[in-house]
Chain A
Amino acid sequence: MAGPMRIRAAAKEGVTEVRVLMSHPMETGQRKDSSGNIIPGHYITDLVAKHNDKVVLEAQMSGSVSTNPYLAFKFNGGAKGDKLMVSWTDNKGESRTDEVQVS
């Protein structure tokens, strides 16, 4: 089970900056273990971020994104106390959703 995401969302001068650190192995499916067997790929495929109920970012990813993916983006608007929700789904069908308040 994947650990929680660390999300920071800070509103400043009308722009909210969001930084997300996900906890995920992001296994590419290219690597081999010590006995030469290919380690099956396990990576986040889709991510969506919502400010209150409005989608502010959607992403699709592959195993080329680093382990424990980091993502930073900005959107117009957003005020202290607003909800910011990020959720992801990986190629094994696991998913996780975390929510923070904009600070």
Chain B
Amino acid sequence: MNQQRRETLKAGGGIGIFGMLVAAGMIKPEMAFAAADRAVFDAKTMEEAFAAIGAGKPADSADIQITAPDIAENGAVVPVGVISNIAKTEQIAIMIEKNPNMVAASFTIPEGTLADIQTRVKMGQTSDVWALVKADGKYFVAKKEVKVTLGGCGG
């Protein structure tokens, strides 16, 4: 009787490990995403990020306003707003130059939606925050430095 119970326990343990392997398989959808159009999110330098988006060397523009604090006390929650005054803005991407995941978000703006987006991002350290704008097929950028006193990406 006792012996049988042990066997059952063993079998149960085996299923547990198998279940974990299946759970580990959940990494797969993530990899599939990365393979699609998420290459831009793997970029490690600004040049790579611009290249992945297809922006090449975007022109600096004074018509992009970045609203972000000069000093962020808490890097885990940094409010960032981007307003593009460039006509026919189609896309806005927010990038944090010194973050491991430098491209925070990319917004596609259909006709009828204003080029005025606000969100909140994490910042590991003091960094330039970039806004990349695609308007009428051309790319423009602006940046603003945000000083972080307490990083948001630490363990």
- Give A contacts to B, CB under 8 Å: 15, 26, 28, 30-33, 40-41, 45, 54-67, 69-77, 91-93
Chain B residues with CB under 8 A of A76: 112-114
Distance between B122 CB and nearest chain A CB, rounded to angstroms:
5
Pair A31/B155 contact, Cβ less than 8 Å: yes
Taking the closest CB of chain A, its distance from the CB of B22, in whole angstroms, is 13
Q: Is B103 an interface residue (CB 8 A)?
A: yes
Q: Give chain B's interface residue range (CB within 8 Å of chain A).
A: 35 or more
> Which residue of A63, A69, A73 is within 8 Å of B114 (Cβ)?
A73
A65 touches B106 (CB 8 A): no
From residue 16 to 69 of chain B, which have CB atoms closer than 8 A to chain A? 26-27, 29-30, 33, 37-38, 41
Task: Select one of A31, A70, A71 contacting B153, CB under 8 A.
Answer: A31
A58–B121 CA distance with the chains assembled, in angstroms: 17
Q: Which residues B85-135 have CB closer than 8 A to chain A?
A: 96, 99-110, 112-114, 116-122
From B96, B109, B122, residue with most partner A Cβ within 10 Å: B122
Q: Is the CB of A70 within 8 A of B120?
A: yes
The distance from the CB of A84 to the nearest CB of chain B, in whole angstroms, is: 12
B77 adjacent to chain A (CB < 8 Å): yes
B76 at the A interface (CB under 8 A): yes
